[in-house]
């Protein structure tokens, strides 16, 4: 059970390169969300997040509180933060950080230089610079980018995303009108399923159109079959 509670939960993004997001003007200014986290059906923690957008800038903070045995063995970062700009195409991260507690130094950092199209990754005492693809998100901002994208007729999404250690690219198949049970009721959602090669980890995300396409459930299945789930328990959205 010695695993990160949010391992993989942030590996989902919707990036439609070259499209102008019609939802941008109607996206909320603040979001407060609380999730329950599970591993193979067992409760292992809670996740509280807050998103704020103002004057063309945004900030997201996510805090994980492990429960039970998970609280004793958890040694991975429990606070994640992302700051950056809000553009017509959505969120443009400037810096992503992961740290053990709010007062600790960051264990992982990603810095986005959009002018030079470079992404600086810092972790484990190492620094690496890689090319920065258009519309790249970090593992936290990725979940909030959906609010800015035209998803009504989309069938497949391209996903560039960094967790601060590496840059990955994903594709997701989109299915509409999929109902799912959540802590805020049974919702009709847009369902994203990762298109993957055999043996790769699996990811799924359920977005609620009635809540600005906010993620209300996420899952990841590791190569060894361990299943993680993150299910919304409370959601407050203010325009």
Kindly report the average pLDDT of the chain as a whole number.
86
pLDDT at residue number 150:
85
Winning range, highest mean pLDDT, from 61-70, 127-136, 166-175? 127-136
Flag whether 17 is in a domain.
no
pLDDT at residue number 238:
92
Task: With CA atoms as reference, report the closest residue to 90 among 28, 21, 11.
Answer: 21
Flag whether 152 is in a domain.
yes
Spatial separation of the C-alpha atoms in residues 54 and 49, rounded to whole Å: 17
Sign of the CA dihedral 134, 139, 145, 150? Answer: positive
Residue 80 in contact with residue 139, Cβ under 8 Å? Answer: yes
Query: Cα 113 to chain center, whole Å?
Result: 20
Q: What is the pLDDT of residues 188-234, one digit of tens each?
A: 999 999 998 887 888 999 999 999 999 999 999 988 889 999 999 99
Contact residues for 39 (Cβ-Cβ < 8 A; gap 6+):
1, 3, 5, 70, 226, 227, 228, 229
Flag whether 12 is in a domain.
no
Flag whether 186 is in a domain.
yes
Task: With CA atoms as reference, report the closest residue to 153 among 209, 108, 85.
Answer: 209
pLDDT at residue number 15:
33
Q: What is the pTM of this model?
A: 0.85
Residue 183 in contact with residue 234, Cβ under 8 Å? Answer: yes
pLDDT at residue number 71:
53
**Partner residues linked to 37 by β-bridges:** 45, 230
Sign of the CA dihedral 125, 126, 129, 130? Answer: negative
Distances (CA, A) of 51 to 82, 174, 185, 219: 9, 25, 22, 21
Q: What is the CATH number for 70?
A: 2.50.20
Spatial separation of the C-alpha atoms in residues 16 and 154, rounded to whole Å: 9
Flag whether 6 is in a domain.
no
Domain count for the chain: 1
- Check pLDDT > 80 for residue 24: no
- Check pLDDT > 70 for residue 2: no
Spatial separation of the C-alpha atoms in residues 18 and 71, rounded to whole Å: 43
Domain range for 191: 24-238
pLDDT at residue number 205:
97
pLDDT (average), residues 144-165: 90
Flag whether 13 is in a domain.
no
- Check pLDDT > 80 for residue 179: yes
Spatial separation of the C-alpha atoms in residues 12 and 18, rounded to whole Å: 19
Q: If you ran DSSP here, which 8-state letter would residue 71 be given?
A: H
pLDDT at residue number 89:
87
Flag whether 9 is in a domain.
no
């Amino acid at each position: 059970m010695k695993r990160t509670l949010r391992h993989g939960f942030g590996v989902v993004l919707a990036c439609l390169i070259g499209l102008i997001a019609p939802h941008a003007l109607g996206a909320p200014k603040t979001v407060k969300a609380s999730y329950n986290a599970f591993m193979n059906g067992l409760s292992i923690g809670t996740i509280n997040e807050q998103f704020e957008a103002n004057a063309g800038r945004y900030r997201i903070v996510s805090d994980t509180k492990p429960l039970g045995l998970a609280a004793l063995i958890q040694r991975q970062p429990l606070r994640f933060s992302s700051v950056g700009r809000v553009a017509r195409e959505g969120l443009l991260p400037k810096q992503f950080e992961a740290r053990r507690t709010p007062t600790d130094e960051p264990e992982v950092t990603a810095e986005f230089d959009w002018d030079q199209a470079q992404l600086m990754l810092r972790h484990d005492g190492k620094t690496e610079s890689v090319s920065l693809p258009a519309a790249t998100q970090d593992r936290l901002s990725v979940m909030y980018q959906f609010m800015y994208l035209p998803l009504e007729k989309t069938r497949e999404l391209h996903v560039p995303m960094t967790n601060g250690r590496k840059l990955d690219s994903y594709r997701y198949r989109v299915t509409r009108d999929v109902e799912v049970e959540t802590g805020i009721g049974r919702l009709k959602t847009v369902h994203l399923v990762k298109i993957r090669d055999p043996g790769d980890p699996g990811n799924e995300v359920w977005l609620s159109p009635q809540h600005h396409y906010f993620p209300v459930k996420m899952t990841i299945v590791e190569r060894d079959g361990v299943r993680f789930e993150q299910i919304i328990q409370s959601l407050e959205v203010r325009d």
